[in-house]
């Protein structure tokens, strides 16, 4: 039986949202799977009235999505209230919410590729299937994105103008409608939006691995060089610490550090990879004088800091610093063109190992040349272990080491990492979180 809505129920708060995310983290169902239950022949069809669902239908939506887990009644009511909007009639107020708003919101929170989420959100609001949305429908998608961002503890005042700029760019012909192609292209070129949608992997070398970060000390934007402000948010690259305003992330920032060299001729050439800025009040490792203002550079691999002019002086060779025994530097990795097996050429599927190789976007296979007197770390992390600790550990190792040494166990398991390191005679394996050790041992024994 439906629980009557309590008029004294308070609005959602960030603690509620964290609690909700903890439930969602371990779901195996997707929102699109739950939506089928509200179709005419679905088990929950009786709770759908046109485009809306009642409060009992909302509760059952969550129960189905969370695979039997019941949310606390007061949290469920606060969630239900959060989906009420100005388009609801007085009769609908406190009784029903739009199913597509609920579906869009929860799809933003679950794991998945940003492109898939953009296409899914578009499809929810393109009810007539004509392949275009009008401006009011796009505004509703944006509203759900803002809703999700707010409870992810983002500074939505920073996100709103970025999304507004995106919408202006998408509707370049001022037609008042947006096609699926325009919507996806605009979204995939909007860095803050991609971060919100859960972009967790870099697609190519030199692409930043952005995450939203709140800063407790003075930090300057690497692009426009103006301050981000105390306790304000900005986008920070996990791998190189390049930092920008959300709006500046779309303005062609400098590329991220390389993770491999472009040819075998470049292997063995140990050179610094410098990132400018945010060395304030630190000492230059070359001249021992203080680095002022926005000046200065730091090396991604050895973490040495120098004035801009001192960075050009000897020694120019990078030692990889205190972690040199553990780092697999970019000058130890290079691409090769390998002949693909005949069965793949003929259209048959390749072996499991073939699918696990590290491959560049243009199809070249990455290969390791051992660095003498080192034993690089191969790190596997389960980001869902230990609350949010696993995710922080993943980010930390991606910064301290070459990101190509660090593997998220929820993205393909240990196979890709073991395959990449298989020709190295000397290396160490570090497994962080959960029961990944047993999984890893079973793969190594294959």
Question: Residue 279 is part of a domain; what is its CATH number?
Answer: 3.30.60.20
102 and 116 together in one domain: no
Judge contact between 205 and 360, C-beta under 8 A: yes
91 and 64 together in one domain: yes
pLDDT number for residue 46: 92
User: Tokens 């090769």 identify what position?
Assistant: 336
Give the CATH number of the domain where residue 185 resides: 1.10.238.10
Q: For 111-146, what is each residue's pLDDT tens digit?
A: 777 788 788 778 777 766 788 888 777 777 777 777
Q: For 329-371, what is each residue's pLDDT tens digit?
A: 999 999 987 654 444 343 333 333 433 447 776 678 899 999 9
Token pair, residue 108, equals 């933003």
Number of domains in the chain: 5
Residue 437: inside a domain: yes
Q: Which residue has the higher pLDDT, 405 or 2?
A: 405
Closest CA to 263 of 341, 154, 364: 364
Please determine, for residue 429, whether its predicted confidence score (pLDDT) is greater than 90.
yes
Under DSSP, the state recorded for 227 is: B
23 and 99 together in one domain: yes
Which residues form the domain of 240? Answer: 210-250
Closest CA to 133 of 200, 76, 184, 194: 184
Residue 25: inside a domain: yes
Least confident range from 27-36, 44-53, 262-271, 353-362: namely 353-362
Give the strand pairing for 96-98 and 52-54. antiparallel
Judge contact between 221 and 245, C-beta under 8 A: yes
Give the strand pairing for 428-432 and 377-381. parallel
Domain C-terminal end among 107, 127, 147:
107
Residue 425: inside a domain: yes
25 and 60 together in one domain: yes
Residue 273's Cα: distance from chain center in Å?
A: 24
pLDDT number for residue 341: 44
133 and 153 together in one domain: yes
Residue 343: inside a domain: no
Q: For 361-403, what is each residue's pLDDT tens digit?
A: 667 889 999 999 999 999 999 877 766 678 889 889 999 999 9
Residue 149: inside a domain: yes
Confidence of residue 4 (pLDDT cuts 50, 70, 90): very low
Cα–Cα–Cα angle for 416, 325, 283, rounded to 5 degrees: 115
Residue 298's Cα: distance from chain center in Å?
A: 25
Give the CATH number of the domain where residue 32 resides: 1.10.238.110
Please determine, for residue 5, whether its predicted confidence score (pLDDT) is greater than 50.
no
Task: Count Cβ atoms below 10 Å from residue 339 Cβ, excluding itself.
Answer: 7
31 and 97 together in one domain: yes
Confidence of residue 420 (pLDDT cuts 50, 70, 90): very high
Residue 58: inside a domain: yes
The alpha carbon torsion through 217, 222, 224, 230 (nearest 10 deg) reads: -10
Please determine, for residue 435, whether its predicted confidence score (pLDDT) is greater than 70.
no
pTM over 0.75: no
Q: Which residue has the higher pLDDT, 445 or 115?
A: 115
Please determine, for residue 221, whether its predicted confidence score (pLDDT) is greater than 50.
yes
119 and 133 together in one domain: yes
| Average pLDDT of the chain to the nearest whole number | 79
26 and 93 together in one domain: yes
Closest CA to 333 of 236, 411, 262, 409: 262
pLDDT number for residue 300: 94
435 and 362 together in one domain: yes
User: Tokens 């690497």 identify what position?
Assistant: 222
Q: For 57-113, what is each residue's pLDDT tens digit?
A: 999 999 998 887 778 888 888 888 878 754 444 444 558 899 988 888 888 777 777
187 and 217 together in one domain: no
72 and 96 together in one domain: yes
Residue 261: inside a domain: no
Give the CATH number of the domain where residue 223 resides: 3.30.60
Domain C-terminal end among 157, 174, 197:
197
pLDDT number for residue 86: 41
Return the beta strands (E) in 202-303 as ranges: 210-214, 233-237, 243-244, 274-276, 297-299
Residue 148: inside a domain: yes
147 and 171 together in one domain: yes
State the sign of the Cα–Cα–Cα–Cα dihedral 79, 83, 84, 85: positive
Domain C-terminal end among 107, 135, 167:
107
């Amino acid at each position: 039986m439906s629980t009557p809505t309590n008029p004294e129920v308070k609005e959602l708060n960030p603690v509620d949202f964290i609690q909700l995310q903890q439930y969602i983290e371990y779901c195996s169902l997707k929102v699109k799977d739950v939506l089928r239950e509200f179709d005419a022949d679905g088990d929950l069809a009786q709770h759908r009235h046109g485009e809306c669902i009642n409060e009992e239908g909302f509760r059952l939506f969550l129960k189905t999505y969370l695979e039997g887990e019941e949310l606390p009644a007061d949290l469920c009511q606060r969630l239900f209230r959060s989906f009420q909007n100005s388009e609801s009639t007085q009769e609908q107020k406190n009784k029903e919410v739009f199913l597509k708003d609920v579906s869009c919101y929860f799809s933003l929170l679950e794991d998945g590729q940003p492109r898939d989420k953009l296409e899914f959100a578009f499809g929810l609001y393109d009810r007539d299937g004509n392949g275009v949305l009008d401006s009011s429908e796009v505004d509703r998608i944006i509203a759900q994105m803002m809703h999700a961002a707010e409870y992810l503890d983002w500074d939505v005042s920073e996100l709103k103008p970025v999304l507004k700029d995106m919408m202006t760019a998408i509707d370049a012909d001022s037609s008042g409608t947006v096609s699926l192609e325009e919507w996806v292209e605009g979204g995939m070129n909007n860095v803050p939006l991609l971060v919100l949608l859960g972009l967790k992997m870099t697609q190519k070398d030199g692409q930043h691995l952005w995450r939203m970060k709140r800063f407790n000390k003075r930090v300057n934007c690497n692009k426009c060089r103006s301050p981000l402000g105390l306790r304000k948010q900005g986008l920070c690259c996990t791998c190189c610490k390049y930092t920008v305003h959300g709006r500046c992330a779309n303005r062609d920032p400098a590329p991220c550090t390389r993770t491999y060299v472009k040819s075998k001729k470049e292997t063995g050439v140990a050179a610094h990879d410098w990132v400018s800025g945010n060395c304030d009040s630190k000492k230059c490792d070359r001249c021992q004088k203080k680095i002022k203002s926005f000046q200065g550079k730091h090396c991604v691999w050895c973490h040495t800091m120098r004035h801009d002019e001192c960075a050009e002086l000897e020694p120019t060779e990078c030692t990889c610093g205190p972690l040199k025994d553990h780092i697999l530097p970019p000058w130890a990795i290079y691409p090769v063109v390998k002949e693909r097996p005949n069965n793949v050429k003929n259209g048959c599927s390749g072996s499991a190992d073939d699918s696990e190789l590290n491959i560049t976007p243009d199809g070249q296979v990455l290969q390791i040349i051992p660095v003498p007197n080192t034993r690089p770390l191969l790190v596997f992390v389960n980001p869902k272990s230990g609350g949010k600790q696993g995710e922080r550990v993943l980010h930390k190792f991606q910064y301290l080491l070459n990101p190509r040494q660090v593997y998220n166990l929820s993205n393909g398991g240990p196979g890709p990492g073991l395959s990449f390191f298989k020709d190295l005679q000397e290396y160490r394996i570090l497994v962080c979180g959960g029961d990944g050790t047993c999984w890893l041992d079973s793969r190594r024994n294959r």
